[in-house]
Amino acid sequence: MGKVAIIGVGQSAFVRGYPGSIRELAFDGFKEALEDAQISVKDIDASIICSAPEYDKQRSPSGVFAEYLGLIPQPTCYLESLCSSTSMGLRMAYSLVQSGLHDVVAVLGFQKMSEISSAESQERMGRGADIQWESPFGTMMPAYYAMFAKAHMEKYGTTLEDMALVRVKSATYGQVNEKALFRKPVAAENFSDPNHFMSGPVSSPLRVGDCCANADGSSCLIVTNKEKAKAMSKKPIWILGLGAASASVNMSGRDLFTGLSVARQAAEQAYKMAGVNPKDIDVAEVHDCFTISEIMAYEDLGFAKLGEGKELVRNKETYKEGRIPVNVDGGLLSKGHPIGATGGSQIRTIVLELRGDAGEMQVKNPEIGLIHNIGGVGLYGAVTILGR
């Protein structure tokens, strides 16, 4: 099989209340990716637009974006798998290029969540669960992940302090990421201070500081084949492994509440395809929509044994200088979470790391990077492994 590479990455700043339209928001990430790849719009022969629906009024945004970005009459399509949409878009782009059907594909993720209220946004997220048997009863994302947190704490002795340390690490790197929504330091003591907003209850045991925030943003990836990658790019980053899985939408159909089966299955597939194992990963981005999510991801990906994920953050092994640096761009907790753009942002960070272009976030000489991107409450899982 021929190699497939990412030759360009882009991302808008992640913000609250983007003042322009969704097509203008998409342009911000697209423009940066084109400039990064040093190609023109004419070089792109297909596009994949990724987001979660119902956060804005535009139906079928792919055609609207293709026209605005100058990508017609090339084919375009719309893809969604909730928060993992852009990672699944990359998987589709890989297939299109690998098959020879297309040579250069743009994968563009976006979300403008500020067009609706926070209450409306939570309701939309709730409808990512089963609208017949679960979401009508008021289930929301924090409540779902609170279930995972309680299960993990009961079985493995994980503490509130462990989860707070994840946010402290996130804020350490959010401060140096110019694209991040939150760029201020966070101290573990903030979580025990009843007067600090970080300690406010959301869904026990999760507090405000344990939860990521909605945001507006876009991201873009330019994908091509081996021949064009070598001709167009001085630093192509190769797609080594792709894994994906799905799970029961209803919690009653799950048999695991201390981790995510989709992450474990997708990771196993990606490691096998890439011919590597967890010890070979030099830098990773994981889907830290909640602090407990990052701890579970350490275990689901094999970076730590089951129940020992908390030890990684306690010992700072997932800091930039540690054994396995994770979310050194601040993760979702600091960057914010514009659903359709999140996976692309994670992939962008790993591409920059592998190139040596990550600035203050740069890990020392990484060769292999991993991206863990989850859709819904573990409904969809995608794991991507990239290499220099």
**CATH code of residue 62:** 3.40.47.10
Report yes or no on 98 lying in a domain.
Answer: yes
Each residue's pLDDT tens digit in the chain (388 positions)? 569 999 999 999 999 999 999 999 999 999 999 999 999 999 999 999 999 988 888 889 999 999 999 999 999 999 999 999 999 999 999 999 999 999 999 999 999 999 888 788 777 777 777 888 887 887 789 999 999 999 999 999 999 999 999 999 999 999 999 999 999 999 999 999 999 999 999 999 999 999 999 999 999 999 999 999 999 999 999 999 999 999 999 988 999 999 999 999 999 999 999 999 999 999 999 999 999 999 999 999 999 999 999 999 999 999 999 999 999 999 999 999 999 999 999 999 999 999 999 999 999 999 999 999 999 999 999 999 999 9
Q: What is the pLDDT of residue 57?
A: 82
Report yes or no on 326 lying in a domain.
Answer: no
For residue 127, with 0-12 CB atoms within 10 Å meaning exposed, 13-18 middle and 19 or more buried, which class applies? Answer: middle
Report yes or no on 92 lying in a domain.
Answer: yes
Task: Please say if 83 is a catalytic residue.
Answer: yes
Report yes or no on 64 lying in a domain.
Answer: yes
Report yes or no on 74 lying in a domain.
Answer: yes
Task: Please say if 152 is a catalytic residue.
Answer: no
Report yes or no on 38 lying in a domain.
Answer: yes
Instruction: Give the chain's domain count.
Output: 1
Report yes or no on 277 lying in a domain.
Answer: no
Range of the domain at 89: 4-117+218-232
d(CA 315, CA 382): 27
Does the pTM of the predicted model rise above 0.85?
Answer: yes
Query: Which candidate in 102, 152, 287, 337 is catalytic?
Result: 337
Query: Which candidate in 50, 83, 211, 220 is catalytic?
Result: 83
Long-range contacts of 299-303 (CB under 8 A, 24+ apart): 299/259, 300/259, 300/260, 300/263, 300/264, 300/267, 300/372, 301/263, 301/267, 301/370, 301/372, 301/383, 302/267, 302/271, 302/277, 302/278, 303/278
